[in-house]
A and B are shown apart, each in its own frame.
Chain A
Protein backbone atom coordinates (compact mmCIF):
# COMPACT_ATOMS: atom_id res chain seq x y z
CA UNK A 1 0.00 0.00 0.00
CA UNK A 2 2.71 2.44 0.98
CA UNK A 3 4.91 1.70 -2.01
CA UNK A 4 1.96 2.18 -4.28
CA UNK A 5 1.26 5.43 -2.54
CA UNK A 6 4.88 6.60 -2.85
CA UNK A 7 4.92 5.74 -6.55
CA UNK A 8 1.80 7.72 -7.11
CA UNK A 9 3.47 10.57 -5.29
CA UNK A 10 6.52 10.35 -7.53
CA UNK A 11 4.53 10.20 -10.76
CA UNK A 12 2.40 13.14 -9.94
CA UNK A 13 3.54 15.28 -7.08
CA UNK A 14 0.17 16.90 -6.78
CA UNK A 15 -1.68 13.60 -6.42
CA UNK A 16 -2.62 13.23 -2.75
CA UNK A 17 -1.59 10.03 -0.99
CA UNK A 18 -4.71 7.93 -0.61
CA UNK A 19 -6.31 8.22 2.82
CA UNK A 20 -6.78 4.46 3.51
CA UNK A 21 -3.06 3.79 2.97
CA UNK A 22 -2.14 6.45 5.47
CA UNK A 23 -4.64 4.96 7.92
CA UNK A 24 -3.01 1.53 7.54
CA UNK A 25 0.40 3.01 8.30
CA UNK A 26 -0.89 4.76 11.39
CA UNK A 27 -2.58 1.60 12.61
CA UNK A 28 0.63 -0.33 12.03
CA UNK A 29 2.64 2.10 14.13
CA UNK A 30 0.00 2.01 16.84
CA UNK A 31 0.13 -1.79 16.92
CA UNK A 32 3.92 -1.73 17.12
CA UNK A 33 3.71 0.58 20.13
CA UNK A 34 1.18 -1.68 21.85
CA UNK A 35 3.37 -4.74 21.31
CA UNK A 36 6.32 -2.95 22.87
CA UNK A 37 4.37 -1.55 25.82
CA UNK A 38 4.29 -4.88 27.61
CA UNK A 39 8.01 -5.06 28.26
CA UNK A 40 8.84 -1.40 28.69
CA UNK A 41 12.40 -1.20 30.09
CA UNK A 42 11.43 2.15 31.66
CA UNK A 43 10.45 -0.07 34.62
CA UNK A 44 14.13 -0.75 35.25
CA UNK A 45 14.86 2.99 35.38
CA UNK A 46 11.87 3.59 37.65
CA UNK A 47 13.11 0.98 40.12
CA UNK A 48 16.57 2.55 40.20
CA UNK A 49 15.09 6.04 40.54
CA UNK A 50 13.02 5.08 43.57
CA UNK A 51 16.07 3.59 45.21
CA UNK A 52 18.14 6.71 44.39
CA UNK A 53 15.51 9.02 45.90
CA UNK A 54 15.91 7.25 49.24
CA UNK A 55 19.67 6.70 49.11
CA UNK A 56 21.92 8.99 51.14
CA UNK A 57 24.30 10.68 48.71
CA UNK A 58 26.50 13.73 48.33
CA UNK A 59 28.75 15.65 50.74
CA UNK A 60 25.87 16.03 53.22
CA UNK A 61 25.09 12.32 52.99
CA UNK A 62 21.38 13.00 52.72
CA UNK A 63 18.53 11.50 50.71
CA UNK A 64 16.11 13.46 48.54
CA UNK A 65 13.14 12.43 50.67
CA UNK A 66 12.61 15.99 51.91
CA UNK A 67 12.78 17.48 48.43
CA UNK A 68 9.84 19.78 47.67
CA UNK A 69 8.58 19.17 44.13
CA UNK A 70 5.79 21.67 44.55
CA UNK A 71 3.25 19.77 46.64
CA UNK A 72 5.29 19.96 49.85
CA UNK A 73 8.50 18.29 51.07
CA UNK A 74 8.70 14.63 50.12
CA UNK A 75 5.43 14.47 48.16
CA UNK A 76 6.09 12.73 44.86
CA UNK A 77 2.67 11.37 43.98
CA UNK A 78 1.09 13.70 41.43
CA UNK A 79 3.99 16.18 41.51
CA UNK A 80 5.05 15.69 37.90
CA UNK A 81 1.71 16.66 36.33
CA UNK A 82 1.77 19.96 38.27
CA UNK A 83 5.12 21.08 36.92
CA UNK A 84 6.66 23.41 35.82
CA UNK A 85 5.65 25.82 38.57
CA UNK A 86 6.93 28.79 40.53
CA UNK A 87 9.01 28.05 43.63
CA UNK A 88 9.34 30.78 46.23
CA UNK A 89 12.67 29.56 47.64
CA UNK A 90 14.47 29.88 44.31
CA UNK A 91 12.21 32.70 43.04
CA UNK A 92 11.91 31.09 39.62
CA UNK A 93 9.75 28.74 37.60
CA UNK A 94 11.22 25.24 37.56
CA UNK A 95 10.51 22.00 35.79
CA UNK A 96 11.17 18.62 37.39
CA UNK A 97 14.79 18.38 36.33
CA UNK A 98 15.85 21.88 37.38
CA UNK A 99 14.02 21.34 40.66
CA UNK A 100 15.97 18.14 41.24
CA UNK A 101 19.18 20.11 40.67
CA UNK A 102 18.05 22.52 43.42
CA UNK A 103 17.32 19.64 45.81
CA UNK A 104 20.64 17.93 45.07
CA UNK A 105 22.39 21.20 45.91
CA UNK A 106 20.43 22.25 49.02
CA UNK A 107 19.77 18.83 50.57
CA UNK A 108 22.69 16.71 49.43
CA UNK A 109 25.37 19.38 49.21
CA UNK A 110 26.42 18.86 45.59
CA UNK A 111 27.63 21.88 43.66
CA UNK A 112 25.28 23.06 40.89
CA UNK A 113 27.87 21.95 38.35
CA UNK A 114 27.98 18.43 39.83
CA UNK A 115 24.21 18.16 39.93
CA UNK A 116 23.94 19.22 36.29
CA UNK A 117 26.72 16.99 34.99
CA UNK A 118 25.52 14.18 32.67
CA UNK A 119 21.79 14.67 32.99
CA UNK A 120 21.18 12.18 30.14
CA UNK A 121 22.11 8.50 30.35
CA UNK A 122 24.18 6.64 27.78
CA UNK A 123 25.36 8.34 24.63
CA UNK A 124 24.01 10.91 22.24
CA UNK A 125 25.21 12.74 19.19
CA UNK A 126 28.59 14.36 19.97
CA UNK A 127 28.18 18.05 20.64
CA UNK A 128 30.45 20.96 19.98
CA UNK A 129 30.94 22.33 23.47
CA UNK A 130 29.81 20.00 26.22
CA UNK A 131 28.62 16.43 26.43
CA UNK A 132 25.61 16.08 28.73
CA UNK A 133 25.54 12.29 28.34
CA UNK A 134 26.89 9.94 31.00
CA UNK A 135 28.73 7.73 28.47
CA UNK A 136 28.52 4.20 27.09
CA UNK A 137 26.69 1.92 29.49
CA UNK A 138 26.68 4.58 32.21
CA UNK A 139 23.65 5.44 34.31
CA UNK A 140 22.46 8.97 34.90
CA UNK A 141 21.04 9.63 38.36
CA UNK A 142 18.93 12.43 36.89
CA UNK A 143 17.36 10.16 34.25
CA UNK A 144 16.58 7.43 36.78
CA UNK A 145 14.98 9.91 39.19
CA UNK A 146 12.89 11.48 36.43
CA UNK A 147 11.62 8.04 35.38
CA UNK A 148 10.41 7.20 38.86
CA UNK A 149 8.92 10.60 39.71
CA UNK A 150 7.01 10.73 36.40
CA UNK A 151 5.74 7.18 36.95
CA UNK A 152 4.24 8.35 40.25
CA UNK A 153 1.91 10.60 38.23
CA UNK A 154 0.87 7.98 35.68
CA UNK A 155 -2.81 8.22 34.81
CA UNK A 156 -3.19 11.67 36.32
CA UNK A 157 -4.36 14.83 34.56
CA UNK A 158 -1.75 17.29 33.33
CA UNK A 159 -2.48 20.51 35.23
CA UNK A 160 0.40 23.00 35.40
CA UNK A 161 -0.47 25.94 37.65
CA UNK A 162 -0.64 29.30 35.86
CA UNK A 163 -1.51 31.58 38.74
CA UNK A 164 1.86 33.20 39.50
CA UNK A 165 3.00 36.08 37.22
CA UNK A 166 6.35 34.34 36.68
CA UNK A 167 4.56 31.22 35.49
CA UNK A 168 2.67 33.29 32.93
CA UNK A 169 5.91 35.01 31.96
CA UNK A 170 7.57 31.63 31.40
CA UNK A 171 4.63 30.56 29.26
CA UNK A 172 4.94 33.68 27.12
CA UNK A 173 8.69 33.28 26.76
CA UNK A 174 8.09 29.68 25.77
CA UNK A 175 5.52 30.71 23.19
CA UNK A 176 7.97 33.22 21.70
CA UNK A 177 10.67 30.55 21.53
CA UNK A 178 8.24 28.13 19.91
CA UNK A 179 7.57 30.56 17.05
CA UNK A 180 11.15 31.88 16.81
CA UNK A 181 12.81 30.99 13.53
CA UNK A 182 16.58 31.16 13.13
CA UNK A 183 19.73 29.23 12.39
CA UNK A 184 21.24 27.95 9.12
CA UNK A 185 17.96 26.21 8.20
CA UNK A 186 15.74 29.13 9.24
CA UNK A 187 13.93 26.62 11.41
CA UNK A 188 11.75 26.97 14.46
CA UNK A 189 9.72 24.54 16.58
CA UNK A 190 6.70 25.73 14.62
CA UNK A 191 8.19 24.54 11.31
CA UNK A 192 7.53 20.91 12.27
CA UNK A 193 4.94 21.30 15.01
CA UNK A 194 2.63 23.97 13.62
CA UNK A 195 0.75 21.99 10.99
CA UNK A 196 -1.58 19.05 11.09
CA UNK A 197 -0.70 15.63 9.67
CA UNK A 198 3.06 16.14 9.19
CA UNK A 199 5.54 13.32 9.46
CA UNK A 200 9.27 12.71 9.59
CA UNK A 201 9.64 9.27 7.99
CA UNK A 202 7.10 7.23 9.99
CA UNK A 203 6.90 9.51 12.99
CA UNK A 204 3.81 11.63 13.24
CA UNK A 205 4.63 15.18 14.19
CA UNK A 206 2.23 16.54 16.78
CA UNK A 207 0.81 19.99 16.14
CA UNK A 208 1.52 21.56 19.49
CA UNK A 209 -1.15 24.23 19.25
CA UNK A 210 -3.74 21.48 18.91
CA UNK A 211 -4.77 20.30 22.40
CA UNK A 212 -5.18 16.62 21.50
CA UNK A 213 -1.80 16.40 19.79
CA UNK A 214 -0.05 18.29 22.59
CA UNK A 215 -1.66 16.13 25.27
CA UNK A 216 -0.52 12.96 23.58
CA UNK A 217 2.99 14.26 22.94
CA UNK A 218 3.56 15.80 26.35
CA UNK A 219 1.83 12.92 28.12
CA UNK A 220 4.24 10.30 26.75
CA UNK A 221 7.49 11.92 27.91
CA UNK A 222 9.68 10.79 29.54
CA UNK A 223 9.87 7.74 27.30
CA UNK A 224 12.09 4.78 26.59
CA UNK A 225 13.58 5.08 23.13
CA UNK A 226 13.99 1.60 21.67
CA UNK A 227 16.34 2.83 18.95
CA UNK A 228 18.69 4.32 21.52
CA UNK A 229 18.10 1.79 24.28
CA UNK A 230 17.77 4.63 26.77
CA UNK A 231 15.13 6.48 28.72
CA UNK A 232 14.81 10.08 27.59
CA UNK A 233 13.43 12.99 29.59
CA UNK A 234 11.60 16.19 28.67
CA UNK A 235 14.81 18.22 28.96
CA UNK A 236 16.44 15.81 26.53
CA UNK A 237 13.50 16.20 24.13
CA UNK A 238 14.01 19.99 24.11
CA UNK A 239 17.79 19.67 23.83
CA UNK A 240 17.51 17.26 20.91
CA UNK A 241 14.94 19.34 18.98
CA UNK A 242 17.11 22.43 19.39
CA UNK A 243 20.15 20.48 18.18
CA UNK A 244 18.28 19.13 15.16
CA UNK A 245 17.34 22.69 14.21
CA UNK A 246 21.08 23.59 14.38
CA UNK A 247 20.47 26.19 17.06
CA UNK A 248 23.13 26.97 19.67
CA UNK A 249 23.15 24.27 22.35
CA UNK A 250 20.26 24.42 24.78
CA UNK A 251 21.73 24.50 28.26
CA UNK A 252 20.36 21.85 30.60
CA UNK A 253 17.83 23.24 33.11
CA UNK A 254 18.18 26.75 31.66
CA UNK A 255 15.37 29.31 31.80
CA UNK A 256 14.87 28.90 28.05
CA UNK A 257 14.37 25.13 28.37
CA UNK A 258 11.96 25.60 31.27
CA UNK A 259 10.01 28.25 29.35
CA UNK A 260 9.53 25.89 26.41
CA UNK A 261 8.41 23.07 28.72
CA UNK A 262 6.02 25.44 30.52
CA UNK A 263 4.47 26.42 27.18
CA UNK A 264 4.04 22.79 26.13
CA UNK A 265 2.70 21.72 29.53
CA UNK A 266 0.04 24.41 29.33
CA UNK A 267 -0.85 23.35 25.77
CA UNK A 268 -1.26 19.78 27.04
CA UNK A 269 -3.43 20.81 29.99
CA UNK A 270 -6.26 18.37 30.65
CA UNK A 271 -4.47 15.44 29.04
CA UNK A 272 -3.55 12.24 30.85
CA UNK A 273 0.03 11.40 31.71
CA UNK A 274 0.94 8.07 30.15
CA UNK A 275 4.64 8.18 30.93
CA UNK A 276 7.26 6.80 31.02
CA UNK A 277 6.08 5.53 27.66
CA UNK A 278 7.90 3.46 25.08
CA UNK A 279 8.89 4.94 21.75
CA UNK A 280 10.35 3.71 18.47
Chain B
Protein backbone atom coordinates (compact mmCIF):
# COMPACT_ATOMS: atom_id res chain seq x y z
CA UNK B 1 0.00 0.00 0.00
CA UNK B 2 1.35 3.35 -1.03
CA UNK B 3 2.02 6.06 1.54
CA UNK B 4 -0.69 8.68 2.08
CA UNK B 5 -0.61 11.91 0.08
CA UNK B 6 0.01 15.19 1.82
CA UNK B 7 -2.78 17.56 0.84
CA UNK B 8 -3.24 21.23 1.65
CA UNK B 9 -6.41 22.99 0.48
CA UNK B 10 -6.90 26.67 1.27
CA UNK B 11 -9.22 29.43 0.13
CA UNK B 12 -7.42 32.19 -1.78
CA UNK B 13 -9.97 34.80 -2.68
CA UNK B 14 -12.90 33.02 -4.36
CA UNK B 15 -10.79 30.05 -5.43
CA UNK B 16 -9.54 26.98 -3.66
CA UNK B 17 -5.79 26.48 -3.87
CA UNK B 18 -4.77 22.84 -3.60
CA UNK B 19 -1.26 21.52 -3.10
CA UNK B 20 -0.68 17.79 -3.21
CA UNK B 21 2.48 15.83 -2.56
CA UNK B 22 2.31 12.19 -3.65
CA UNK B 23 4.66 9.42 -2.66
CA UNK B 24 5.51 7.45 -5.78
CA UNK B 25 8.58 5.99 -7.45
CA UNK B 26 7.60 7.16 -10.97
CA UNK B 27 10.02 4.68 -12.52
CA UNK B 28 10.39 5.24 -16.27
CA UNK B 29 11.20 1.68 -17.30
CA UNK B 30 14.35 2.90 -19.01
CA UNK B 31 16.77 2.61 -16.11
CA UNK B 32 18.88 -0.41 -15.28
CA UNK B 33 19.91 -1.66 -11.87
CA UNK B 34 23.44 -2.57 -10.72
CA UNK B 35 23.09 -6.03 -12.31
CA UNK B 36 22.16 -4.50 -15.67
CA UNK B 37 18.53 -5.61 -15.50
CA UNK B 38 15.86 -3.15 -16.62
CA UNK B 39 13.85 -1.72 -13.73
CA UNK B 40 10.18 -2.16 -14.71
CA UNK B 41 8.16 0.96 -15.40
CA UNK B 42 6.03 2.05 -12.48
CA UNK B 43 4.28 5.38 -12.73
CA UNK B 44 1.01 7.17 -11.99
CA UNK B 45 -1.25 7.10 -15.01
CA UNK B 46 -4.44 8.85 -13.93
CA UNK B 47 -5.12 11.54 -11.39
CA UNK B 48 -8.64 12.64 -10.53
CA UNK B 49 -9.73 15.37 -8.15
CA UNK B 50 -13.37 15.62 -7.13
CA UNK B 51 -15.28 18.18 -5.12
CA UNK B 52 -18.95 17.79 -4.16
CA UNK B 53 -19.39 14.90 -6.56
CA UNK B 54 -17.95 16.81 -9.50
CA UNK B 55 -14.61 16.23 -11.15
CA UNK B 56 -12.57 19.42 -10.97
CA UNK B 57 -9.32 18.05 -12.34
CA UNK B 58 -8.51 15.01 -14.42
CA UNK B 59 -5.00 14.29 -15.63
CA UNK B 60 -3.18 11.63 -17.56
CA UNK B 61 0.43 11.32 -16.52
CA UNK B 62 3.42 9.55 -17.94
CA UNK B 63 7.00 8.79 -17.16
CA UNK B 64 8.17 12.38 -17.55
CA UNK B 65 6.69 13.37 -14.19
CA UNK B 66 9.27 13.36 -11.39
CA UNK B 67 9.49 11.02 -8.44
CA UNK B 68 7.30 12.06 -5.48
CA UNK B 69 5.17 14.36 -7.68
CA UNK B 70 3.93 17.72 -6.46
CA UNK B 71 0.65 18.99 -7.89
CA UNK B 72 -0.55 22.56 -7.42
CA UNK B 73 -3.79 23.95 -8.88
CA UNK B 74 -6.81 26.17 -8.17
CA UNK B 75 -10.49 25.64 -8.79
CA UNK B 76 -13.66 27.68 -8.38
CA UNK B 77 -16.79 26.81 -6.47
CA UNK B 78 -15.38 25.47 -3.20
CA UNK B 79 -15.91 26.85 0.27
CA UNK B 80 -14.26 26.29 3.67
CA UNK B 81 -15.28 23.00 5.25
CA UNK B 82 -15.86 21.24 1.92
CA UNK B 83 -13.99 18.07 1.12
CA UNK B 84 -11.60 17.61 -1.78
CA UNK B 85 -10.92 14.03 -2.84
CA UNK B 86 -7.82 13.09 -4.79
CA UNK B 87 -7.18 9.71 -6.38
CA UNK B 88 -4.41 8.27 -8.46
CA UNK B 89 -3.98 4.97 -10.23
CA UNK B 90 -0.70 3.67 -11.61
CA UNK B 91 0.28 1.34 -14.43
CA UNK B 92 0.73 -1.63 -12.06
CA UNK B 93 -2.84 -1.41 -10.77
CA UNK B 94 -1.98 0.32 -7.51
CA UNK B 95 -4.41 2.99 -6.33
CA UNK B 96 -4.65 5.54 -3.61
CA UNK B 97 -7.38 7.95 -2.55
CA UNK B 98 -7.04 10.67 0.07
CA UNK B 99 -9.16 13.60 1.05
CA UNK B 100 -8.71 16.95 2.73
CA UNK B 101 -11.00 19.59 4.18
CA UNK B 102 -10.74 23.09 2.67
CA UNK B 103 -9.41 25.54 5.24
CA UNK B 104 -10.46 29.20 5.42
CA UNK B 105 -8.46 31.93 3.64
**A residues at B contact (CB < 8 Å):** 38-41, 43-44, 47-48, 123, 126, 131, 136-137, 226, 229
Contacts and interface: CB of A to CB of B under 8 A. Distances in A.
A229 B25 CA distance: 9
B51 interface: no
A38 B8 CA distance: 11
Given A47-B4, A123-B33, A137-B42, 18 more contacts: A38-B19, A39-B19, A39-B21, A39-B70, A39-B72, A41-B23, A41-B68, A41-B70, A43-B6, A44-B3, A44-B23, A44-B68, A47-B6, A123-B34, A126-B34, A131-B34, A136-B39, A137-B25
Contact of A47 (B3, B19, B67): B3
A208 to B, nearest CB: 30
Interface of A is mostly: loop
A40 B66 CA distance: 12
A41 B3 contact: no
B27 interface: yes
Contact of B70 (A38, A123, A131, A229): A38
Q: How large is the interface on B (under 10, 10 to 19, 20 to 34, 35 or more residues)?
A: 10 to 19
A44 B25 CA distance: 12
Nearest to B33: A136
Contacts of B42: 137
Contacts of B27: 136-137
B6 A229 contact: no
B16 to A, nearest CB: 16
Contacts of B67: 41, 229
Interface in B24-44: 25, 27, 31, 33-34, 39, 42
Contact of A44 (B6, B19, B66, B72): B6
17 contacts: A38-B19, A38-B70, A41-B21, A41-B67, A41-B68, A43-B6, A44-B3, A44-B21, A47-B3, A48-B3, A123-B34, A131-B34, A136-B27, A136-B31, A136-B39, A137-B27, A229-B67
Contacts of B33: 123, 136
Nearest to B32: A136
Closest 3 CB pairs of A and B: A39-B70, A229-B67, A41-B68
Contacts of B72: 38-39
Nearest to A39: B70
Nearest to B42: A137
B24 to A, nearest CB: 10
A39, A40, A44, A136 interface centre (most CB from chain B within 10 Å): A39
Contacts of A226: 66
Contact of B21 (A43, A123, A126): A43
A121 to B, nearest CB: 12
Contacts of A131: 34
A48 B33 CA distance: 25
A266 B42 CA distance: 43
A168 B46 CA distance: 56
Nearest to A43: B6
B2 to A, nearest CB: 10
A44 B67 CA distance: 12
Given A39-B21, A41-B21, A229 B3 contact: no
Contacts of A48: 3
A137 B6 CA distance: 19
Contacts of B4: 47
A229 B27 CA distance: 11
B6, B27, B39, B72 interface centre (most CB from chain A within 10 Å): B6
A229 to B, nearest CB: 4
